[in-house]
Structure 1
Amino acid sequence: MADLRRLRYFLAVAQERNFTRAAERLHIAQPALSRQVRQLEQELGVRLLDRTTQSVEPTEAGRLLMERGAALCDEADRLWRDVRGYAAGESGSLSFGYSASTGYETAPTLLAALAEAHPGIRTSTRLLPTGEILAGVADGTLDVGLVRCPPPAPQLVRTLVRLEPQGVLMAEGHPLAGRPAVDVAALAGEILLTHARGDNPGHYDAIAGIFERAGVSPRLRERHLSFDAAQMPVAQGDAVSVVGESARPGLPAGLVWRPLSPAAAIEIHLLTRGDTERPATARLLRVASGTARARGWLRSPS
Protein backbone atom coordinates (compact mmCIF):
# COMPACT_ATOMS: atom_id res chain seq x y z
CA MET A 1 0.00 0.00 0.00
CA ALA A 2 1.31 3.43 -0.94
CA ASP A 3 2.60 5.67 1.82
CA LEU A 4 0.04 8.30 2.88
CA ARG A 5 2.86 10.80 3.21
CA ARG A 6 3.67 10.41 -0.51
CA LEU A 7 -0.02 10.73 -1.33
CA ARG A 8 -0.13 14.04 0.53
CA TYR A 9 2.95 15.21 -1.41
CA PHE A 10 1.30 14.33 -4.71
CA LEU A 11 -1.91 16.12 -3.73
CA ALA A 12 0.00 19.29 -2.91
CA VAL A 13 1.74 19.28 -6.30
CA ALA A 14 -1.48 18.47 -8.17
CA GLN A 15 -3.35 21.26 -6.37
CA GLU A 16 -0.62 23.85 -6.82
CA ARG A 17 0.23 22.70 -10.36
CA ASN A 18 3.80 23.58 -9.47
CA PHE A 19 6.58 21.72 -7.64
CA THR A 20 8.18 24.88 -6.25
CA ARG A 21 4.99 26.22 -4.68
CA ALA A 22 4.10 22.76 -3.38
CA ALA A 23 7.55 22.37 -1.79
CA GLU A 24 7.19 25.75 -0.08
CA ARG A 25 3.73 24.78 1.18
CA LEU A 26 5.04 21.48 2.56
CA HIS A 27 8.26 23.02 3.92
CA ILE A 28 10.52 20.50 2.16
CA ALA A 29 13.16 20.80 -0.54
CA GLN A 30 11.91 20.62 -4.12
CA PRO A 31 14.26 17.76 -5.17
CA ALA A 32 13.02 15.66 -2.25
CA LEU A 33 9.41 16.37 -3.21
CA SER A 34 10.05 15.38 -6.86
CA ARG A 35 11.71 12.16 -5.70
CA GLN A 36 8.77 11.24 -3.45
CA VAL A 37 6.22 11.79 -6.22
CA ARG A 38 8.26 9.67 -8.66
CA GLN A 39 8.43 6.87 -6.05
CA LEU A 40 4.64 7.03 -5.68
CA GLU A 41 4.24 6.67 -9.43
CA GLN A 42 6.58 3.68 -9.38
CA GLU A 43 4.64 2.05 -6.54
CA LEU A 44 1.34 2.48 -8.38
CA GLY A 45 2.76 1.65 -11.79
CA VAL A 46 1.18 4.66 -13.51
CA ARG A 47 2.13 8.21 -14.44
CA LEU A 48 0.24 10.67 -12.27
CA LEU A 49 1.58 13.99 -13.56
CA ASP A 50 2.40 15.37 -16.98
CA ARG A 51 5.42 17.60 -16.43
CA THR A 52 6.54 20.38 -18.76
CA THR A 53 8.90 23.27 -18.23
CA GLN A 54 5.90 25.56 -17.85
CA SER A 55 3.36 23.55 -15.88
CA VAL A 56 2.40 20.35 -14.11
CA GLU A 57 -0.94 18.75 -14.94
CA PRO A 58 -2.50 15.61 -13.46
CA THR A 59 -3.05 12.74 -15.85
CA GLU A 60 -6.37 10.90 -15.94
CA ALA A 61 -5.05 8.56 -13.24
CA GLY A 62 -3.78 11.58 -11.32
CA ARG A 63 -7.20 13.23 -11.42
CA LEU A 64 -8.76 10.05 -10.01
CA LEU A 65 -6.16 9.99 -7.24
CA MET A 66 -6.77 13.68 -6.52
CA GLU A 67 -10.50 13.13 -6.20
CA ARG A 68 -10.40 10.08 -3.98
CA GLY A 69 -7.02 10.61 -2.33
CA ALA A 70 -8.06 13.85 -0.66
CA ALA A 71 -11.03 12.07 0.95
CA LEU A 72 -8.72 9.26 2.05
CA CYS A 73 -6.34 11.70 3.75
CA ASP A 74 -9.23 13.49 5.45
CA GLU A 75 -10.55 10.19 6.78
CA ALA A 76 -7.09 9.19 7.97
CA ASP A 77 -6.79 12.51 9.81
CA ARG A 78 -10.13 11.92 11.51
CA LEU A 79 -9.08 8.39 12.45
CA TRP A 80 -5.80 9.56 13.99
CA ARG A 81 -7.66 12.25 15.97
CA ASP A 82 -10.20 9.71 17.21
CA VAL A 83 -7.52 7.24 18.27
CA ARG A 84 -5.55 9.96 20.05
CA GLY A 85 -8.83 11.01 21.68
CA TYR A 86 -9.19 7.55 23.19
CA ALA A 87 -5.73 7.75 24.68
CA ALA A 88 -6.43 11.21 26.09
CA GLY A 89 -9.86 10.25 27.42
CA GLU A 90 -11.57 12.77 25.14
CA SER A 91 -13.49 10.06 23.29
CA GLY A 92 -14.48 6.48 23.86
CA SER A 93 -17.27 4.77 25.72
CA LEU A 94 -18.22 4.06 29.34
CA SER A 95 -20.65 1.53 30.76
CA PHE A 96 -22.16 3.07 33.88
CA GLY A 97 -24.24 1.20 36.45
CA TYR A 98 -26.24 2.99 39.11
CA SER A 99 -28.72 2.04 41.81
CA ALA A 100 -32.31 3.29 41.99
CA SER A 101 -31.61 5.63 44.90
CA THR A 102 -28.72 7.35 43.10
CA GLY A 103 -30.89 7.84 40.02
CA TYR A 104 -32.93 10.66 41.55
CA GLU A 105 -30.22 13.29 41.23
CA THR A 106 -26.64 12.08 41.73
CA ALA A 107 -26.26 9.90 38.63
CA PRO A 108 -28.03 12.29 36.21
CA THR A 109 -26.00 15.23 37.49
CA LEU A 110 -22.67 13.45 37.08
CA LEU A 111 -23.53 12.14 33.61
CA ALA A 112 -24.72 15.56 32.45
CA ALA A 113 -21.49 17.13 33.69
CA LEU A 114 -19.44 14.50 31.85
CA ALA A 115 -21.39 15.05 28.61
CA GLU A 116 -20.83 18.80 28.84
CA ALA A 117 -17.12 18.54 29.61
CA HIS A 118 -16.33 15.65 27.24
CA PRO A 119 -18.99 15.28 24.54
CA GLY A 120 -16.87 12.71 22.71
CA ILE A 121 -17.35 10.12 25.45
CA ARG A 122 -20.37 7.90 24.84
CA THR A 123 -22.02 6.55 27.99
CA SER A 124 -24.34 3.56 28.27
CA THR A 125 -26.25 3.37 31.54
CA ARG A 126 -27.85 0.51 33.44
CA LEU A 127 -30.13 0.67 36.46
CA LEU A 128 -29.10 -2.31 38.60
CA PRO A 129 -29.29 -3.66 42.14
CA THR A 130 -26.25 -2.83 44.23
CA GLY A 131 -24.93 -6.40 44.23
CA GLU A 132 -24.96 -6.55 40.44
CA ILE A 133 -23.15 -3.23 40.21
CA LEU A 134 -20.39 -4.47 42.51
CA ALA A 135 -20.05 -7.69 40.52
CA GLY A 136 -20.15 -5.86 37.18
CA VAL A 137 -17.35 -3.47 38.06
CA ALA A 138 -15.29 -6.32 39.51
CA ASP A 139 -15.55 -8.49 36.39
CA GLY A 140 -15.26 -5.64 33.91
CA THR A 141 -18.85 -5.77 32.63
CA LEU A 142 -19.22 -2.22 33.95
CA ASP A 143 -16.56 0.48 33.81
CA VAL A 144 -18.07 2.51 36.64
CA GLY A 145 -20.68 1.98 39.33
CA LEU A 146 -22.50 4.46 41.56
CA VAL A 147 -23.83 3.07 44.84
CA ARG A 148 -24.56 3.93 48.45
CA CYS A 149 -22.19 2.65 51.14
CA PRO A 150 -20.29 0.04 49.08
CA PRO A 151 -18.22 -2.49 51.04
CA PRO A 152 -14.41 -2.45 50.73
CA ALA A 153 -13.18 -4.84 48.03
CA PRO A 154 -9.53 -5.47 47.06
CA GLN A 155 -10.12 -5.09 43.32
CA LEU A 156 -12.35 -2.02 43.54
CA VAL A 157 -11.49 1.63 44.09
CA ARG A 158 -14.07 3.72 45.95
CA THR A 159 -14.30 7.45 45.26
CA LEU A 160 -16.59 9.41 47.58
CA VAL A 161 -18.75 11.83 45.59
CA ARG A 162 -21.51 12.69 48.00
CA LEU A 163 -22.50 12.81 51.65
CA GLU A 164 -26.25 12.87 51.15
CA PRO A 165 -28.36 14.25 54.03
CA GLN A 166 -31.05 11.83 55.15
CA GLY A 167 -34.62 12.55 56.10
CA VAL A 168 -37.93 10.92 56.88
CA LEU A 169 -40.36 10.17 54.07
CA MET A 170 -43.97 10.04 55.30
CA ALA A 171 -47.55 10.74 54.39
CA GLU A 172 -48.44 14.40 54.55
CA GLY A 173 -51.06 13.60 57.20
CA HIS A 174 -48.53 11.95 59.51
CA PRO A 175 -48.27 13.58 62.97
CA LEU A 176 -44.56 14.30 62.39
CA ALA A 177 -45.09 15.89 58.97
CA GLY A 178 -45.68 19.35 60.40
CA ARG A 179 -42.25 19.56 61.98
CA PRO A 180 -39.35 21.30 60.16
CA ALA A 181 -37.10 18.38 61.16
CA VAL A 182 -37.78 15.01 62.76
CA ASP A 183 -35.86 13.95 65.84
CA VAL A 184 -34.60 10.39 65.51
CA ALA A 185 -36.02 9.62 68.95
CA ALA A 186 -39.51 10.50 67.68
CA LEU A 187 -39.37 7.50 65.36
CA ALA A 188 -39.17 4.98 68.20
CA GLY A 189 -42.76 3.85 67.78
CA GLU A 190 -42.85 3.97 63.98
CA ILE A 191 -42.73 1.16 61.46
CA LEU A 192 -39.63 1.80 59.37
CA LEU A 193 -39.75 0.52 55.80
CA THR A 194 -36.36 -0.84 54.72
CA HIS A 195 -34.80 -3.12 52.15
CA ALA A 196 -33.41 -6.51 53.13
CA ARG A 197 -29.89 -6.28 54.51
CA GLY A 198 -28.59 -8.62 51.82
CA ASP A 199 -29.57 -6.14 49.11
CA ASN A 200 -27.03 -3.60 50.35
CA PRO A 201 -25.48 -4.42 53.74
CA GLY A 202 -23.50 -1.19 53.93
CA HIS A 203 -26.52 1.04 53.50
CA TYR A 204 -28.68 -1.07 55.81
CA ASP A 205 -26.05 -0.88 58.54
CA ALA A 206 -25.60 2.87 58.04
CA ILE A 207 -29.32 3.49 58.55
CA ALA A 208 -29.38 1.13 61.54
CA GLY A 209 -26.42 3.04 62.97
CA ILE A 210 -28.38 6.31 62.95
CA PHE A 211 -30.95 4.76 65.27
CA GLU A 212 -28.45 2.88 67.40
CA ARG A 213 -26.55 6.08 68.19
CA ALA A 214 -29.82 7.63 69.35
CA GLY A 215 -30.74 4.57 71.42
CA VAL A 216 -33.83 3.97 69.30
CA SER A 217 -35.12 0.65 67.99
CA PRO A 218 -37.85 1.24 65.40
CA ARG A 219 -40.00 -1.60 64.18
CA LEU A 220 -38.59 -2.73 60.84
CA ARG A 221 -40.55 -3.90 57.85
CA GLU A 222 -38.48 -5.32 55.03
CA ARG A 223 -39.57 -4.60 51.53
CA HIS A 224 -38.60 -6.83 48.62
CA LEU A 225 -40.07 -4.79 45.77
CA SER A 226 -37.07 -3.35 43.93
CA PHE A 227 -38.78 -0.14 42.80
CA ASP A 228 -41.99 1.61 43.81
CA ALA A 229 -42.23 5.19 42.56
CA ALA A 230 -45.52 5.71 44.40
CA GLN A 231 -44.06 4.61 47.76
CA MET A 232 -47.35 2.87 48.51
CA PRO A 233 -46.86 1.69 52.14
CA VAL A 234 -45.61 5.15 53.09
CA ALA A 235 -48.33 6.97 51.15
CA GLN A 236 -51.00 4.82 52.84
CA GLY A 237 -49.63 5.77 56.26
CA ASP A 238 -48.57 2.23 57.11
CA ALA A 239 -44.87 3.08 57.54
CA VAL A 240 -42.20 5.74 57.21
CA SER A 241 -38.86 5.50 55.44
CA VAL A 242 -35.44 7.12 55.74
CA VAL A 243 -34.30 8.37 52.32
CA GLY A 244 -31.84 10.88 50.92
CA GLU A 245 -32.71 14.49 50.13
CA SER A 246 -32.29 13.87 46.39
CA ALA A 247 -35.66 12.06 46.42
CA ARG A 248 -37.42 15.18 47.67
CA PRO A 249 -38.04 17.15 44.42
CA GLY A 250 -39.87 14.32 42.65
CA LEU A 251 -42.06 13.06 45.49
CA PRO A 252 -45.54 11.84 44.56
CA ALA A 253 -48.45 13.93 45.79
CA GLY A 254 -49.36 13.18 49.37
CA LEU A 255 -45.81 12.56 50.59
CA VAL A 256 -43.44 14.86 52.48
CA TRP A 257 -39.75 14.70 53.37
CA ARG A 258 -38.29 16.18 56.53
CA PRO A 259 -34.59 16.16 57.50
CA LEU A 260 -33.43 14.09 60.44
CA SER A 261 -32.27 15.68 63.66
CA PRO A 262 -29.48 15.32 64.54
CA ALA A 263 -28.37 15.57 60.92
CA ALA A 264 -27.19 12.35 59.30
CA ALA A 265 -25.69 11.56 55.89
CA ILE A 266 -25.15 8.49 53.74
CA GLU A 267 -22.04 8.05 51.59
CA ILE A 268 -22.36 7.67 47.82
CA HIS A 269 -19.32 6.34 45.98
CA LEU A 270 -18.16 5.84 42.44
CA LEU A 271 -16.63 2.38 41.99
CA THR A 272 -13.89 1.63 39.47
CA ARG A 273 -11.27 -1.05 38.93
CA GLY A 274 -7.87 0.43 39.64
CA ASP A 275 -5.97 -2.21 37.66
CA THR A 276 -7.83 -1.56 34.39
CA GLU A 277 -8.74 2.11 34.59
CA ARG A 278 -9.37 3.56 31.12
CA PRO A 279 -8.66 7.17 30.13
CA ALA A 280 -12.39 7.92 29.81
CA THR A 281 -12.94 6.58 33.33
CA ALA A 282 -10.27 8.91 34.65
CA ARG A 283 -12.06 11.81 32.94
CA LEU A 284 -15.31 10.87 34.68
CA LEU A 285 -13.61 10.74 38.06
CA ARG A 286 -12.14 14.22 37.55
CA VAL A 287 -15.50 15.60 36.43
CA ALA A 288 -17.22 13.95 39.40
CA SER A 289 -14.71 15.45 41.82
CA GLY A 290 -15.25 18.94 40.42
CA THR A 291 -19.02 18.53 40.40
CA ALA A 292 -19.06 17.31 44.01
CA ARG A 293 -17.03 20.32 45.15
CA ALA A 294 -19.11 22.80 43.17
CA ARG A 295 -22.38 21.47 44.56
CA GLY A 296 -21.17 21.11 48.13
CA TRP A 297 -21.88 17.40 48.11
CA LEU A 298 -18.95 16.58 50.36
CA ARG A 299 -19.91 18.88 53.21
CA SER A 300 -21.16 17.09 56.29
CA PRO A 301 -24.77 18.07 57.08
CA SER A 302 -25.33 20.09 60.21
Structure 2
Amino acid sequence: MERPVTGARDRIDTSTAHSARVYDYILGGKDHYLVDAEAGDAMCRHWPALPVHMKENRRFMHRAGRYLARERGVRQFLDIGAGLPTPPNLHEVVQEVAPEAHVVYVDNDPIVLAHARALLNSSPEGATAYVDADMLDPDAILGSPEFRALLDLGEPVGLMIIGILHFIPEPDDRHLVRRLLDPLPPGSYLAMTIGTADFAPEEVGRVAEEYAQQNMPMVLRDLPTATSFFDGMELVEPGVTQVHKWRPGPEQDGIDDAAIAMYGAVARKL
Protein backbone atom coordinates (compact mmCIF):
# COMPACT_ATOMS: atom_id res chain seq x y z
CA MET A 1 0.00 0.00 0.00
CA GLU A 2 1.52 3.31 -1.03
CA ARG A 3 0.61 6.87 -0.22
CA PRO A 4 1.22 9.44 -2.95
CA VAL A 5 4.18 11.71 -2.41
CA THR A 6 3.24 14.30 -5.04
CA GLY A 7 3.91 17.79 -3.78
CA ALA A 8 5.67 16.63 -0.62
CA ARG A 9 8.86 18.52 -1.43
CA ASP A 10 6.86 21.69 -2.06
CA ARG A 11 5.95 21.68 1.65
CA ILE A 12 9.53 21.37 2.91
CA ASP A 13 10.74 24.43 4.83
CA THR A 14 14.47 24.75 4.21
CA SER A 15 14.78 28.00 6.15
CA THR A 16 14.60 26.40 9.60
CA ALA A 17 16.07 23.22 11.05
CA HIS A 18 13.83 20.19 11.56
CA SER A 19 14.44 17.52 14.20
CA ALA A 20 14.20 14.59 11.75
CA ARG A 21 16.70 16.19 9.37
CA VAL A 22 19.09 17.14 12.19
CA TYR A 23 18.91 13.52 13.35
CA ASP A 24 19.67 12.39 9.80
CA TYR A 25 22.65 14.73 9.56
CA ILE A 26 24.20 13.71 12.87
CA LEU A 27 23.84 10.03 11.98
CA GLY A 28 25.62 10.61 8.66
CA GLY A 29 22.60 10.59 6.36
CA LYS A 30 22.05 12.61 3.20
CA ASP A 31 18.48 13.89 3.56
CA HIS A 32 19.04 17.27 5.19
CA TYR A 33 19.83 20.88 4.35
CA LEU A 34 22.49 23.39 5.34
CA VAL A 35 20.35 24.79 8.14
CA ASP A 36 20.04 21.29 9.64
CA ALA A 37 23.80 20.68 9.37
CA GLU A 38 24.55 24.00 11.07
CA ALA A 39 22.14 23.18 13.91
CA GLY A 40 23.57 19.68 14.26
CA ASP A 41 27.15 20.99 14.36
CA ALA A 42 26.22 23.47 17.08
CA MET A 43 24.58 20.73 19.15
CA CYS A 44 27.60 18.43 18.80
CA ARG A 45 29.88 21.24 19.94
CA HIS A 46 27.80 21.47 23.10
CA TRP A 47 27.77 17.70 23.58
CA PRO A 48 30.18 15.63 21.47
CA ALA A 49 28.47 12.42 22.63
CA LEU A 50 25.26 13.33 20.76
CA PRO A 51 25.91 10.96 17.79
CA VAL A 52 26.42 8.04 20.20
CA HIS A 53 23.22 8.97 22.02
CA MET A 54 21.21 9.10 18.79
CA LYS A 55 22.58 5.79 17.51
CA GLU A 56 21.68 4.06 20.77
CA ASN A 57 18.17 5.47 20.66
CA ARG A 58 17.67 3.83 17.27
CA ARG A 59 19.32 0.59 18.35
CA PHE A 60 16.86 0.43 21.24
CA MET A 61 14.05 0.56 18.69
CA HIS A 62 15.63 -2.35 16.82
CA ARG A 63 15.99 -4.47 19.95
CA ALA A 64 12.51 -3.63 21.24
CA GLY A 65 10.87 -4.41 17.89
CA ARG A 66 12.79 -7.67 17.56
CA TYR A 67 11.91 -8.64 21.14
CA LEU A 68 8.20 -8.01 20.59
CA ALA A 69 8.15 -9.98 17.34
CA ARG A 70 10.31 -12.88 18.50
CA GLU A 71 9.50 -13.31 22.17
CA ARG A 72 6.00 -11.85 22.50
CA GLY A 73 4.57 -12.84 19.12
CA VAL A 74 3.49 -9.33 18.11
CA ARG A 75 2.70 -9.19 14.40
CA GLN A 76 1.51 -5.60 13.97
CA PHE A 77 3.15 -2.32 14.86
CA LEU A 78 2.30 1.38 14.94
CA ASP A 79 5.46 3.52 14.68
CA ILE A 80 4.84 7.15 15.72
CA GLY A 81 7.39 9.69 14.49
CA ALA A 82 9.03 7.25 12.11
CA GLY A 83 11.58 9.76 10.83
CA LEU A 84 13.64 9.50 7.68
CA PRO A 85 14.18 5.95 6.40
CA THR A 86 17.47 4.64 7.78
CA PRO A 87 18.00 0.90 7.27
CA PRO A 88 17.19 -1.23 9.01
CA ASN A 89 13.76 0.29 9.46
CA LEU A 90 11.24 -1.22 11.86
CA HIS A 91 9.51 -3.39 9.26
CA GLU A 92 12.85 -4.83 8.16
CA VAL A 93 13.66 -5.78 11.76
CA VAL A 94 10.31 -7.38 12.61
CA GLN A 95 9.74 -9.00 9.22
CA GLU A 96 13.10 -10.72 9.54
CA VAL A 97 11.50 -12.52 12.50
CA ALA A 98 7.94 -12.66 11.16
CA PRO A 99 7.62 -11.94 7.41
CA GLU A 100 3.84 -11.61 7.79
CA ALA A 101 4.11 -8.63 10.17
CA HIS A 102 2.25 -5.38 9.43
CA VAL A 103 3.77 -1.96 10.20
CA VAL A 104 2.05 1.44 10.00
CA TYR A 105 4.49 4.37 10.03
CA VAL A 106 3.39 7.86 11.09
CA ASP A 107 5.18 11.18 10.60
CA ASN A 108 4.25 14.75 9.67
CA ASP A 109 7.48 15.90 8.04
CA PRO A 110 7.11 16.41 4.28
CA ILE A 111 10.69 15.24 3.67
CA VAL A 112 9.81 11.94 5.36
CA LEU A 113 6.72 11.74 3.16
CA ALA A 114 8.89 12.37 0.10
CA HIS A 115 10.99 9.34 1.03
CA ALA A 116 8.10 7.22 2.28
CA ARG A 117 8.44 4.60 -0.45
CA ALA A 118 11.55 3.32 1.34
CA LEU A 119 9.24 2.53 4.28
CA LEU A 120 6.81 0.65 2.06
CA ASN A 121 9.17 -2.02 0.79
CA SER A 122 7.45 -4.77 2.73
CA SER A 123 8.06 -8.48 2.55
CA PRO A 124 5.56 -10.22 0.22
CA GLU A 125 3.88 -11.89 3.17
CA GLY A 126 3.50 -8.71 5.24
CA ALA A 127 2.44 -5.12 4.66
CA THR A 128 3.52 -1.58 5.48
CA ALA A 129 1.83 1.80 5.15
CA TYR A 130 2.67 5.43 5.81
CA VAL A 131 0.32 7.94 7.45
CA ASP A 132 1.08 11.63 6.94
CA ALA A 133 -0.14 12.86 10.33
CA ASP A 134 1.01 14.51 13.55
CA MET A 135 1.16 12.82 16.96
CA LEU A 136 -0.59 15.95 18.24
CA ASP A 137 -3.64 14.83 16.25
CA PRO A 138 -4.12 11.20 17.34
CA ASP A 139 -7.61 11.06 15.86
CA ALA A 140 -6.12 11.61 12.39
CA ILE A 141 -3.82 8.64 12.99
CA LEU A 142 -6.46 6.33 14.46
CA GLY A 143 -9.00 7.31 11.82
CA SER A 144 -6.69 6.96 8.84
CA PRO A 145 -7.50 4.37 6.15
CA GLU A 146 -4.01 2.91 6.57
CA PHE A 147 -4.49 2.32 10.30
CA ARG A 148 -7.88 0.71 9.77
CA ALA A 149 -6.72 -1.44 6.86
CA LEU A 150 -3.50 -2.84 8.31
CA LEU A 151 -4.06 -3.13 12.06
CA ASP A 152 -6.52 -5.64 13.49
CA LEU A 153 -7.61 -4.32 16.88
CA GLY A 154 -8.62 -7.82 17.88
CA GLU A 155 -4.92 -8.70 18.12
CA PRO A 156 -2.02 -7.12 20.07
CA VAL A 157 -0.27 -4.11 18.59
CA GLY A 158 3.24 -2.85 19.33
CA LEU A 159 3.03 0.94 19.76
CA MET A 160 6.47 2.48 19.16
CA ILE A 161 7.04 6.07 20.34
CA ILE A 162 10.77 6.49 19.82
CA GLY A 163 12.72 9.73 20.09
CA ILE A 164 9.73 12.05 19.93
CA LEU A 165 8.24 12.49 23.41
CA HIS A 166 10.79 15.15 24.41
CA PHE A 167 9.24 17.41 21.75
CA ILE A 168 5.75 17.04 23.31
CA PRO A 169 5.02 19.54 26.11
CA GLU A 170 3.14 18.88 29.32
CA PRO A 171 0.28 18.16 29.85
CA ASP A 172 -0.36 17.06 26.26
CA ASP A 173 2.25 14.30 26.53
CA ARG A 174 0.27 11.94 28.77
CA HIS A 175 -3.01 12.59 27.00
CA LEU A 176 -1.51 11.82 23.60
CA VAL A 177 0.21 8.61 24.70
CA ARG A 178 -2.98 7.38 26.37
CA ARG A 179 -5.12 8.38 23.40
CA LEU A 180 -2.96 6.20 21.15
CA LEU A 181 -2.98 3.31 23.65
CA ASP A 182 -6.69 3.36 24.48
CA PRO A 183 -8.02 1.68 21.30
CA LEU A 184 -5.33 -1.02 21.36
CA PRO A 185 -6.42 -4.34 22.89
CA PRO A 186 -5.06 -5.78 26.15
CA GLY A 187 -1.83 -7.62 25.47
CA SER A 188 -0.55 -4.78 23.29
CA TYR A 189 2.81 -3.21 24.10
CA LEU A 190 4.21 0.30 24.39
CA ALA A 191 7.89 0.79 23.54
CA MET A 192 8.98 4.35 24.25
CA THR A 193 12.10 6.45 24.72
CA ILE A 194 12.08 9.54 26.92
CA GLY A 195 14.69 12.31 26.88
CA THR A 196 16.48 13.13 30.14
CA ALA A 197 19.25 15.33 31.49
CA ASP A 198 19.89 13.05 34.47
CA PHE A 199 23.33 11.86 33.32
CA ALA A 200 24.94 14.87 31.65
CA PRO A 201 22.84 17.82 32.86
CA GLU A 202 25.08 20.66 31.71
CA GLU A 203 25.82 19.29 28.24
CA VAL A 204 22.29 18.08 27.53
CA GLY A 205 20.91 21.33 28.89
CA ARG A 206 22.97 23.26 26.34
CA VAL A 207 21.72 20.98 23.56
CA ALA A 208 18.16 21.64 24.69
CA GLU A 209 18.85 25.38 24.55
CA GLU A 210 20.14 25.01 21.00
CA TYR A 211 17.01 23.10 19.99
CA ALA A 212 14.88 25.85 21.54
CA GLN A 213 16.76 28.50 19.57
CA GLN A 214 15.90 26.50 16.44
CA ASN A 215 12.18 26.63 17.41
CA MET A 216 12.23 23.02 18.64
CA PRO A 217 11.70 23.32 22.42
CA MET A 218 12.37 20.17 24.43
CA VAL A 219 11.03 18.74 27.67
CA LEU A 220 13.58 16.61 29.56
CA ARG A 221 12.26 14.26 32.25
CA ASP A 222 13.79 12.59 35.29
CA LEU A 223 13.45 8.88 36.06
CA PRO A 224 10.31 9.07 38.25
CA THR A 225 8.54 11.15 35.58
CA ALA A 226 9.66 8.81 32.80
CA THR A 227 8.50 5.79 34.78
CA SER A 228 5.08 7.32 35.43
CA PHE A 229 4.20 7.12 31.72
CA PHE A 230 3.93 3.36 32.18
CA ASP A 231 1.62 3.47 35.20
CA GLY A 232 -1.02 0.74 35.01
CA MET A 233 1.07 -1.33 32.60
CA GLU A 234 3.31 -4.35 33.15
CA LEU A 235 6.92 -3.34 32.57
CA VAL A 236 9.17 -5.80 30.75
CA GLU A 237 12.49 -6.41 32.51
CA PRO A 238 14.73 -4.48 33.08
CA GLY A 239 12.07 -1.80 33.40
CA VAL A 240 12.79 1.86 32.68
CA THR A 241 16.50 2.32 32.09
CA GLN A 242 18.91 4.15 29.82
CA VAL A 243 18.37 2.87 26.30
CA HIS A 244 21.80 1.23 26.01
CA LYS A 245 21.05 -0.84 29.14
CA TRP A 246 17.75 -2.27 27.90
CA ARG A 247 18.52 -5.89 26.93
CA PRO A 248 21.93 -4.85 25.58
CA GLY A 249 24.02 -6.70 23.02
CA PRO A 250 27.74 -6.59 22.25
CA GLU A 251 27.31 -3.23 20.49
CA GLN A 252 26.50 -1.64 23.84
CA ASP A 253 29.73 -2.75 25.54
CA GLY A 254 31.78 0.13 26.89
CA ILE A 255 29.21 2.90 26.33
CA ASP A 256 29.52 5.63 28.95
CA ASP A 257 26.27 6.40 30.80
CA ALA A 258 27.05 10.11 30.41
CA ALA A 259 26.80 9.68 26.62
CA ILE A 260 23.13 8.64 26.78
CA ALA A 261 20.31 11.07 27.51
CA MET A 262 17.36 8.79 26.88
CA TYR A 263 15.36 6.42 29.05
CA GLY A 264 13.67 3.50 27.35
CA ALA A 265 11.18 0.83 28.32
CA VAL A 266 8.71 -1.70 26.97
CA ALA A 267 5.46 -2.37 28.83
CA ARG A 268 2.40 -4.58 28.31
CA LYS A 269 -1.11 -3.18 28.36
CA LEU A 270 -3.23 -5.06 30.90
- TM-score normalized by structure 2? 0.32
Quick check: which one's strand share is greater? 1
- Decide which structure has the larger Cα Rg and report it: 1
- TM-score normalized by structure 1? 0.30
